[in-house]
A and B are shown apart, each in its own frame.
Chain A
Amino acid sequence: MFSEFLQYLFTGITIGATYALIALGFTLIYNASHVINFAQGEFLMIGGMATVSLTAMGVPMLLAIILAVVLAGVLGIALQRLAIAPAKNADVVTLIIITIGASIFIRGLAQLVWGKEYHVMANFSSDEPIQIFGAVLNSQSLWVLGVGAVLVAILVYFFTRTLTGKAILATSMNKDAARLVGIRTQMVLMLAFMVSALLGSIAGVVVAPITFTSYDIGIILGLKGFVAAAIGGLGNGMGAVVGGLALGVVEAMSAGYLSSDYKDAVAFSMILVVLFFMPRGLFGAKVVERV
C-alpha cells in the first residue's frame, strides 16, 4: 500500500519538476513583458532534439548539450528581435498571438530538419532504477529534480542580487520609470527571452531521456507548463515551482487511485478550482488597479 503511494509520488514529482521548469520560463517572460510566450514548449523541444541530433553526429554528450542550449538561447534572442520587437507598441494580446505563430513556425522548421520520428536519449547516469521502500525511481528523475533545484537557486540569486536581474524586475514593474532611470528596456526584454529559452532548453535536455523527444513534444508539455504557471500565480517564481509539482502529483495520484481516464480532467479542473477561489493563483501578487 505504502510502496504504491510512494511510487505515485515519485512519478508525480518527476513529471511535476518538468512542468515547474517550463512554468519558470513562462514566468520569466511574463515578468519582463506581461507576454505569455507560447513558444516556451518549443525551446524545450529544441533542447532535446538538438542534443539528440548532435550526439548522433558524434559530438560528445556534454558538448552537444551545451551547443543545444546555446542554440535555444540564440533562438530566444531571434524570437524577441525578429518577431516581438518589430511589433513594439502592439498590445499584449497581439504579442501573445505572435508567440503562438512563432511556435508553429519553429515546430514546422524542426519537422523539416529533424523529421517526425521520436528519438531516444540515453540516461545521464546509470539505467538501473533506484529502489526506495519498494518503489522505484528512475535515476534520471534525480537529475531532473537536481537540475531544477539548481536552476531555481540561480534564478533567485539572479533576480535579487544582480543588477541585470533587478533591471528585469524594474522593467516589469514600470517600463517607463525603468527607462527614465537608464534601463534599456528592449535589451532587458531580449535578455528575458534568452534566459527563458535557456531554461526551457535545459529542461528539454534533462527530461528527454524520460519522455523521448520529437518535433511536437513542446505542444503538450508547454500547455501543462502554462497550467502550472497559472495555478501558481503567473509571474511568481515560487508559484511556478509549487504549481508544477502540485500538477504532477495530482495527475499521478488520480491516474493511480481514480482512473487513468480522468487523469487530465482532474489536472485541468484543478486550475478551474484554484482560479475560482484565488483568481491570481496560489502565489499571485495582489495587484491594485490604479484608476
Chain B
Amino acid sequence: MLKTMMRRASKVATVAAAGLLAMSVQAADPIRIGSFLSVTGPASFLGDPELKTLEMYVDKINEDGGVIGRPLELVHYDDAGNASNARNFASRLIRSDRVDIIVGGSTTGATMAAVPMVEQAKIPFISLAGAVVITTPVKKWVFKTPQSDRMAAERVLADMKSRGLTKIGLISGTGGFGSSGREQTLAVAKEMGIEILADETYSGSDTDMTAQLTSIRSNKDVQAILNFGFGQGPAIVTRNYAQLGIKRPFYQSHGVASDGFLELAGSSAEGLRLPASPLLVPDSLPDSDPQKAVVQAYKSDYEARWNAKVSTFGAYAYDGLMLAVAAIEKAGSTDKAAVRDALESIQGHVGVTGTFNMSPDDHNGLTADSFRILEVHNGGWKLVN
C-alpha cells in the first residue's frame, strides 16, 4: 500500500519536475508582449479584430524565426470595455507577468486608466485608442497608433477648402466621439479660416434628424455640411439628407468609414465624402503608394486566417505590434528604456494606418495625410485623394 503510494508520488514528482524544466527553458527565452483589449462587451467591435490580429501576427513572426532570435509570447486579458478592469490587468501584466512591452487598450477610457501604472513602472506602452489626450501632452512611455479625431477634422476641412467651400454647417452626435469631434472641428476651422455657420447636435438614440437638417438648410450661406458621429446616427442623417433633397456637398467622419455604414445608408450615401484608412480601398491605391503592399498583405492575411472582413481597428493592433517589433530590433534587446528610445526615434515606418514618424514631441507619428478622402460611388468606396 505504502509502496504503491510512494511509487505514484515519485511518478508525479518526475512529471512535475520535467514540466518545470520545460517551462523554465521556455520562460528564459521569449519576448513577452502584454495586452489588454475589450474583446467582449460594448467595445468588442474594437477588441475582437485587435486580438485576432495580434494572435495571428505573433504566430507568423514566430514561424519566421521571431525577433532578435527570440520567439514572441502574447499575454492578453479581456477588459470587457471596463476601465477599472483595464487598470487591474495592466498592473498584472507589469507585476506578475513581467511583460517587456504592452500593446493594447482598445478604448480611450481603458488606455487612460492604465497610463499611470505604465508611467510608474516605466514600461513602453503602445495604445490602440483614438483620443488626442493619450499623447497630448506627450507622456514619456505612452505611444499610440490610430490618428486622432483632430486629424480627421483637419483632413475634411482641407478637402473642403480645396473645393472652395469655406462656409459650412456642422451636425454632430452628443456621444463621446461626436462631441469630441465637434470640439476639434470648431478649433481646426478657426485656424484654417473656415466659418461654421450652423452647429446642430443629435443624441445617439434619435430616430429622425430632419428637423436639424432643415434648420441648417434654411441658412442659405452654408455651402457644405459635415456630420461628426458614430453608430447608426450618421446613417439616419445621411438618409434624411437625401430625403430632404439637399444638394450641397456632404461629409461624414472616419467614425462611419466601414462597409456596415454603406449597408445602412444605402443609396442615400451616394456622393458623400469621408476621411478613411486606405484599408477600405487597398486595390485602388496607386502603385507608387508605399502603403499599398502593406495594406494589401494585411487584408488578405487577415481574411484568409479568420474568414471575416478586415476592420480598420484590427489594423491599429497590426501597427502597434509592428512598431513594437521594429523598436525591439532597433534596440537589439528588450531593455525597457532602450526600446522606448528606439520607439521614439522610429522614422518612416510604413504601417496600415499610415507612415509613422515618431519624435520626442509626437508619440503618434501620423499626420492628417494618412487619412484618404473617399467618396461613395455606385454603392462602393472611391479614392479621391
Contacts and interface: CB of A to CB of B under 8 A. Distances in A.
A129 interface: yes
A289 interface: no
How big is the A interface, by class?
Answer: 35 or more
Interface in B201-243: 201-203, 205-208, 210-212, 214-215, 218, 231-232, 235-236, 243
B263 interface: yes
B243 A136 contact: yes
A212 B200 contact: no
A7 B210 contact: yes
Contacts of A261: 174, 201
A136 B245 contact: yes
Contacts of A69: none
Given A7-B210, A136-B245, A256-B211, A220 B205 contact: yes
A221 B206 CA distance: 9
Given A255-B212, A260-B200, A210 B244 contact: no
Contact of B214 (A118, A210, A219, A256): A256
Given A15-B207, A120-B263, A212-B264, A8 B202 contact: no
Contacts of A116: 45
Contacts of A12: 211
A129 B241 CA distance: 11
Given A118-B232, A136-B244, A260-B201, A4 B207 contact: no
A144 to B, nearest CB: 11
B205 A7 contact: no
B315 to A, nearest CB: 20
Contacts of B206: 263
B203 A264 contact: yes
Given A129-B245, A212-B235, A260-B212, A120 B264 contact: yes
A136 B211 CA distance: 11
A256 B232 contact: no
Contacts of B264: 118-120, 212
Contacts of B45: 116
Which of B210, B231, B260 has most chain A Cβ within 10 Å? Answer: B210
Contacts of A15: 207-208
Contacts of B212: 255-256, 260
Given A11-B210, A212-B235, A256-B211, A4 B260 contact: no
Which of B174, B200, B215 has most chain A Cβ within 10 Å? Answer: B215
A11 B213 CA distance: 11
Contacts of B380: none
Q: Which secondary structure dominates chain A's binding surface?
A: helix
B266 interface: yes
Interface string A117-154: 11110000001010000001010000000000000000
Contact of A129 (B202, B243, B260, B263): B243
A7 B214 contact: yes
Contacts of A138: 243
Contacts of A255: 211-212, 215
B207 A211 contact: yes
Which of B206, B211, B263, B264 has most chain A Cβ within 10 Å? Answer: B211
Contacts of B231: 118
A69 to B, nearest CB: 21
B252 to A, nearest CB: 15
B211 A210 contact: no
Contacts of B174: 261
A238 to B, nearest CB: 24
A224 B212 CA distance: 19
Contacts of B205: 219-220
Interface string A97-130: 0000000000000000000111110000001010
A247 to B, nearest CB: 13
A234 interface: no
Interface string A202-245: 00000100111010000111000000000000000000000000
Contacts of B214: 4, 7-8, 11, 256
Contacts of A212: 207, 232, 235-236, 264
Contact of A252 (B203, B211, B232): B211
Given A8-B214, A212-B207, A259-B200, 7 more contacts: A4-B215, A4-B218, A12-B211, A138-B243, A207-B207, A212-B236, A252-B211
21 contacts: A4-B218, A7-B214, A11-B208, A11-B211, A12-B211, A15-B207, A15-B208, A120-B264, A120-B266, A129-B243, A136-B245, A210-B207, A212-B235, A214-B232, A252-B210, A253-B211, A255-B211, A256-B211, A260-B200, A260-B201, A263-B211
